[in-house]
Structures are given as C-alpha cells and as structure tokens.
Structure 1
Amino acid sequence: MYVCDTKSPPAFLDRVRGVIFDCDGVLVDSRDANRMYYNLIREGVGMLSLTPEEEDYVHMHSVKECLNHIIPADRMEEALEVQRNLDYPEEIFPFIYLEDGLLELLETFARRKVRMAVHTNRTNTVEILLRHFEIDRYFAPVISAGRLKRPKPDPEGVFTILDAWKLPAESVAYIGDSALDERSAKAAAVPFWSYKNPALAAVMYIPDFDTLRGCLAGEPEDKDA
C-alpha cells in the first residue's frame, strides 16, 4: 500500500478520471452526530445509550440496518415514530463538520476535470447535507442506500456510478474509511484509497486531504473527463 506523500506522488494519480467519495467519515466528520441521532431514538423508547460497538456499526451502515441492529423488533414501531418526529437538519446538522482540506481538494479535482460522485449508506439525508455545506455542485451522481436494492458492501452503487460516467473501473478511485467501502470497491474492481484508516487493504492510504492535494499538485491539470 502506498502511503500518500507529497515528496513522492504516485504515477497512478495521473490516470484517475473519476473519484467516488464515501460521505460519513470522508466528506464530513459526523461520528458525534450519528451517535446523537441514534441515542435520541433509543432515549425516546426508554433504552440506554449506544455501546462503543454499536457506535461503530451505526457510523457505517444504512438507517434500516442500524435500527434493526440497535432496536428490538418489538420496539421498532415506537422507535420509528420517534425517528419521524426528529428534525434531522435542525437537531443534527449543527454537529456535522466538513473534513479539513475537503473544499480545496474538490476544487483541485474540478480544475483537473476529474468527475466526482458520492456513494453512501445514508438513506435520504445526503442531498440535504451536501446542499447545507454548499458542495452539492461537485457531485454527480449521488448514490444513497435509498436508491439501491443492495447497499454497501454490495458493488451495485459503484457500478451505477461507473455506468453513468461511462468510465472503466481502473480509471476511477474510491475514497472510503470503512471495511464496507473497501469491500464495495474491491467487488467492483475499482482501486480503493483508504482515508484515515491504515488498517484497510488499499492501493493508497490518505492521512489527510491536504496531503492528497499536495500529491496532485505536480500532475498536469488538463485532463479529458
């Protein structure tokens, strides 16, 4: 695995024509927000807060999968009612933050005419989130779990993006921070770049976006999308 380093940028960066981003943990730091969201639901049905293991789970999986994991079946209707009454943008968005260096990286990719997409296990909040941070203009398509029959780690979402772009898998990179991202990329034969998680099997490890942008700085910026 190559560790992203501005002193020795890898040659494969010059071949990248599209980049797929995971959302939570990559575009945004949302761990506290996710914990708060699911704890509010648990609190609403009289349950204790999430365990550390449950916190890890809800940070990666779709809402449906998360609720099935943390709420007993006999309490599900009650939990869904609590969920419906939550104002997600009003109560949760203030605790979500853009990852450092993201805006500058998006601008760099845009100047290089590299296509960008989002593939997330969020169900119906990703578009609102992207608009909230005014970064929605960078991404097309935006693939959420709600648009898929099979969410990550199934490769359906990645294949949907490749088909929309009409690009071969080897010319695209997938930036993610979880094993679900790694497995989804691998199943679609798309090179995987691990963000802030050196434990994953990846072509490249990215410690931060400023370093990745520095690696791109020496490459030519006039590319055909």
Structure 2
Amino acid sequence: MKKYKAVVFDLDGTLADTRLDFVKMREDLQFPLGVSILEHLETLPLDKKDNANRIILEHEIAGAKSSTLTSGAKELLDHLEEKNIPMAIQTRNCKDVTDLVIGKLKIPISKVLTREDSRPKPDPHGFFQIAKDWNIDIKEILYVGDSHYDLQTSLNAKSDFALFTNLHNESKEINHPFSVSCLSQLISYF
C-alpha cells in the first residue's frame, strides 16, 4: 500500500458538509444548467456580477453556518496532525466563508487556497503551488475530494486522487477506483 507524505483536501462536501443547495443557488442567480457557476459569473457584465456575487455569498454563508464535519473527518485530521503530515485545503469557495467554516469546525489546517488565491479548480495551478511550497513531489501528495472539479484537478496535475462519496455525489456519474465513504478509511495511507 502506498504511503503519502501530504494531503490536499477539498472543503465543501469533503471535509465539511455545508449543505449548499446549488440548484437553489443557480435558480436565484438565473444561471443556465450545465454551466459552472464560477465560470458563468466571469462572463457577466460588472453590474450583474456584483449582484450575482452577493447571491452566491448569501448561499455560502448560510451553508457555512449550518456546516458539520463529514464522516470520519475528525479522526483523519487528528491522525494527520499527530503524524505531522502536511495538510492543505483547495476550495472554489471564497476566503471569508472558508475561514468561517474552518473556524466553526475547528479544522486544524492553515494552508488554504480559495478562489481568490488562485485560479479555481479544475485548474491545477493552486495544487502545484501547494506542492512547491511544501517542496514535495506531486506524486507523493494525495488529493481528496468529492466532485468532478476535484477529480479533474487531480487528473490535470497527474496526482493520485481519493473520491469521498457522500449523499450529494453518490448518485452522480463520478466513478473512481479509489473511493471512500468515510474519511477515516484513508488513515492507513499516511
């Protein structure tokens, strides 16, 4: 069994269940189906972009306030912290909401990249920056996420990926040979 030297997590749906209702968010934004919310946001004129950002932030704050740790997250985080394994979060969420979730749930991770810090996933730039900062080869870092953005980020970076299956993604067409339904199942890989 391969042992990893570090881990990069997605936040929403992976470490934290923020209960974000993307269908309702998309309805409130009046964005078309099948188009990424963040990518569509970039195509809007400035006056519409400001209003859309406000709507997105309202949804993200509501999700952050009701967030809980996902299954096995505390056990895995405690293990990684005890073993001094470098940990990071790369999220498509904004900094303020990410900080709110991390603080509320007492997530012991200080290296965090939000959509303000680097190009959003699936662009691997942020992941490459984390690996460079740690001076750890990308092949020795496990990327853990729950969405096609996370999987695609890992594929773009040519890194190993663990899919965290949850109530929101288990019915989606995300198939990956390395998947877990409880994050503590990853303990033996570190």
TM-score, normalized by length of structure 2?
A: 0.78
- Secondary structure (helix, strand or coil) at the match of 1:175 reads strand
The one-letter code matched in structure 2 to 1:175 is: V
The one-letter code matched in structure 1 to 2:100 is: I
The answer to whether 1:173 aligns with 2:142 is yes
Given that 1:18 and 1:171 are in contact with CA atoms closer than 8 Å, whether structure 2 keeps it comes out as yes
The answer to whether 1:30 aligns with 2:18 is yes
CA RMSD between the two structures: 3.3
Superposed CA deviations along residues 76-115 of structure 1, whole A, max 9, x for unmatched, are 15724854994964x4433322212211110011122211
Equivalent in 92, 116, 119 of residue 146 of structure 1: 116
Equivalent in 146, 149, 156 of residue 187 of structure 1: 156
Given that 1:22 and 1:118 are in contact with CA atoms closer than 8 Å, whether structure 2 keeps it comes out as yes
Question: In 2, distance between residues paired with 1:159 and 1:85?
Answer: 27
The answer to whether 1:132 aligns with 2:104 is yes
Other-structure match for 1:206: 180
The answer to whether 1:17 aligns with 2:5 is yes
- Secondary structure (helix, strand or coil) at the match of 1:105 reads helix
Other-structure match for 1:3: none
Question: In 1, distance between residues paired with 2:139 and 2:6?
Answer: 10
Question: In 1, distance between residues paired with 2:10 and 2:56?
Answer: 25
Given that 2:71 and 2:181 are in contact with CA atoms closer than 8 Å, whether structure 1 keeps it comes out as no
Q: How far apart are 1:192 and its partner, in Å?
A: 0.7
Question: In 2, distance between residues paired with 1:147 and 1:208?
Answer: 29
Given that 2:90 and 2:113 are in contact with CA atoms closer than 8 Å, whether structure 1 keeps it comes out as yes
Equivalent in 160, 167, 182 of residue 129 of structure 2: 160
Q: Percent identity?
A: 21
Larger Rg belongs to:
1
Given that 2:20 and 2:63 are in contact with CA atoms closer than 8 Å, whether structure 1 keeps it comes out as no
Question: In 2, distance between residues paired with 1:97 and 1:105?
Answer: 15
